[in-house]
Structure 1
Amino acid sequence: MKLKALLPLVTHPDPNSDAVAAHAVAVARQFGADLHVLVVNVDIPPVSNALSDLLLDLPNKIRQAEEQSRARGAHLLDRVEHQASAAGVPLSTEEVSAGPAFLYEKAATSARYFDLDLVGWEKGNPTSRTLAEAVIFGAGRPTILLPEHCDIGTLDRIAIAWDGSRVAARAVADAKPLLARCETVSVVTVVDEKPLAELDAGERLADGLRKRGLQAEATRIEAGDAPVGAILQEQAIQLGAGLLVMGGYGHSRVRDFILGGATEAVLDDLRLPILLSH
């Protein structure tokens, strides 16, 4: 069955840079996925207040914000179409509008209808972070974060962050279609970050993957005093992995996301594409 991937683009207030177009197309091409682009532009309700109209010129500011949102969405869509055409990736597109409070919810809801979500990640861009959190914890689908300043290399080697937990198991299950397309799988277990139910958890998973026809190996590492998210990424890069698979720890209280330590460390310092599943 062919994969269907979604690239959601929220264009207000701080849209993604052009890098997201090339990154999303590169991932879709390597996994043989059809790519659907959802552009979510802002639709700001009118403010009917004579004083604000007179002193702040709010109607004009609202119009400018909406025009900028649509223009940026059209620009990003053009970039994705150009990249997809050059790479031979099947592409479909959609543009919608939503109020400022519902931009991310619209993206997360739409993401539930796809096999895989691709989200551009830019450090210092609050829109990209909020979108990533909304999709990871609200879509119920695996999400690959695409760091802005990172070339998408070959994805024939995938690393799995494994601690034997439920969310880690969910991430592996969600990543099965991608694992089936790679050449080598590296199972990475951090042994000193928290108590593990089974000391041989990583080897058990690797053995199970080998029995399913995958080329898999297990690696045990120690984090020491370093953030576990950073150590996992460093190890994945050293192993030559182009993608790291891990469970996303966290939940949302309305719009305030409470993240687990490893997830927080990854989002604070993303170094390679990461599939997060929740």
Structure 2
Amino acid sequence: MAFTAEQLAGNCSFLLSIRFLAGQMRGMFDAGPRLARLLASHQRWLLTQTAYALNLEYDPRDPTSGFTAVRLTGRITAHKVASRNTVLAFIEELYTYRFIVHTPGDERRRPRHFEPADVSHQAMFAWIHSNLGALDLLDGGHRAAFFQANPSLMRLVQPRVARHCLEDAAWREPPEQVALFLWTEAGGLVVDNFIARMDTESGEAGRYSVGRVETRALAADFMMSRTHLQRLLAKAAQRGCVGWDDEPRKAHLWISRDFVEQYCAWQAVKFAYVDEAFEWAKAQFEEMAV
């Protein structure tokens, strides 16, 4: 039985699962920084997941199916996630950095189909595997191990997660404090960094200590401008999401309990869809194996 978003958000151990996933995402970033940045803003996350799902849903009998510019644009603009020009620029970037390739034989055809390169397949598999591992921490389950042993589940799990997340406004439109970070370039990396580092035992006065944060080093680490990061933190501080223990030096950061609770509730929506898709796919897989 899959967890619901409400069950996850109300689970006192869920924060540990989110911290685990944040650490896994950091590992993915270290392994491939440019590719990891595709999941580091919410808009790009939605674009990436939807594009990948379209590819897995390709039906050779239907030339209009699969990952094409028209299909991705249609699905994304229908939910007002990005403009047509943004979608086309995103596809061009993916192709330039060889994260996607033309489907063999489609180079001169219309519509032109794309498919993920091997490195993109590996990254998406790792993302789902990490989410399942985070869920396993809550109930001692074996989702990640089963997924690892049966990689063909990918074709069932990922499109279902992507579709549900895109269609659900609770995930598509993060709460205000979370959106402040997630709608900005590399904002997801910054949040993951803070969540992974925060001291969960230090939640006095509605805040958690993150520790020493040097904006110059952090910005360089995530390939973003220091000015952009400083403006982001200044906006977050104005709204009470973060603050500094040592004004005016601003070296030791804290993150508010309210922000963490909003973030956990938002993440719970996605985790519930991952769990539901896995349980559904596993049932399909076992039924076919009989």
Tell me the TM-score normalised to structure 2 length.
0.28
Give the structure, 1 or 2, with the largest relative contact order (CA under 8 Å, sep 6 or more). Answer: 2
Higher strand share: 1
Tell me the TM-score normalised to structure 1 length.
0.29
Higher helix share: 2
